Amino acid sequence: MTDFSILDLVPVREGGTLEEAFAAATSLARAAEDAGCKRFWVAEHHAMEGIAGGATSVVLAHIGNATSTIRIGSGGIMLPNHTPFQIAEQFGTLAALFPGRIDLGLGRAPGAGPELQRALRKDLHRAAEMFPQDVVELRAFLSGDPELAIRATPGHGSDVEMWMLGSSLFGAQLAARLGMPYAFASHFAPDHLDSALKIYRRDFQPSAALDRPHVMAAMNLYVADDAEEADYLASSQLQAFVRLRTGTPGKLPPPIRNYRDSLPPQARALLDHIGQASAIGTPETAAAQVRNFIARTGADEIVFGGSTFDPAARERSIAMAMSQLAERSAAS
């Protein structure tokens, strides 16, 4: 049976505050837990006024205290921004605070310009080249490798489930070689989805943590009582994506009716392209789109992204989708 999870960017709305963004993320995590979702992941981004998850482990600690059963983790930590030792300490601390509930998803892309590199005091491009070695070192810290010259405390021997994230073939190859579960960012970068999953499954080498391939694929999810309302909810995130791609990122804007129709052909084509991994519509329509995507990918898990300007609308969207998906699973 396929598991379903939530990816949250901790969006900051136009006219909103950081305090409201964190409160909304916490409420969303509770709603995801109540709806039966398996995981709640927060993504690391820096120097973006519309995304508040930069201090990812701190945000996860807050969400962990507000929930009780749902797994919480990073989707992901961009390891080039950090040292393996620091992340081992941070996620080892989370594992001690919330035993059996912590995931550590790792990404390679630094996603940073020269200003952020200076702020982090790191050569991020060089650090990205060291990513495979850093993943191995981090796993050694967390697994309690006795050969290490130094122990991460907290962290040493902690129960942290490590994931490889990716949007290209590189992550698939590395996840296969290291025997890690693999999550593909198809919600915004669908181009290499099928090829990456094929490579991952073909080349997978069992590890102490995982004996066979395990795939998560990401989708955008917007569910409402009718298709027009679902499109309306999705328009905030679509606007944010267009603004990002055109070099004018900012806070999450309010939704616009018939937003796609207002765009030039090039922008509409861009949204159609990334929309390959989306479920937008009524509960029945969206659930059918999710099931078709699962049939295409063979994914063991689906993680749903999809920020909304009204936080309550996303909670309702998830609840309706999960109810419909569970109803269909029970009937099959």
pLDDT of residue 328: 64
Residue pair 229/299 in contact (Cβ under 8 Å)? The answer is no
Which residues make beta-bridge pairs with 216? Answer: 183, 301
Query: Per the CATH hierarchy, to which homologous superfamily does domain 3-331 belong?
Result: Luciferase-like domain (3.20.20.30)
Handedness of CA 138, 144, 147, 151 (dihedral sign): positive
pTM for the full predicted model: 0.96
pLDDT of residue 126: 86
Q: Which residues contact 26 (CB under 8 A, 6 or more apart)?
A: 62, 63, 66
Residues 277 and 300: their CA atoms lie apart, in Å, by 16
Mean pLDDT, contiguous 10-residue spans, the chain (332 residues): 97 98 98 98 94 97 98 96 97 98 93 78 87 97 91 94 97 98 96 97 97 98 98 97 92 97 93 93 98 98 98 98 84 56
Handedness of CA 17, 22, 25, 27 (dihedral sign): negative
Residues 321 and 32: their CA atoms lie apart, in Å, by 11
Number of neighbours of residue 126 by Cβ within 10 angstroms: 11
Residue extents of the structural domains in the chain: 3-331
pLDDT of residue 216: 98
pLDDT of residue 260: 94
Number of neighbours of residue 127 by Cβ within 10 angstroms: 20
Place of tokens 């309706």: 320
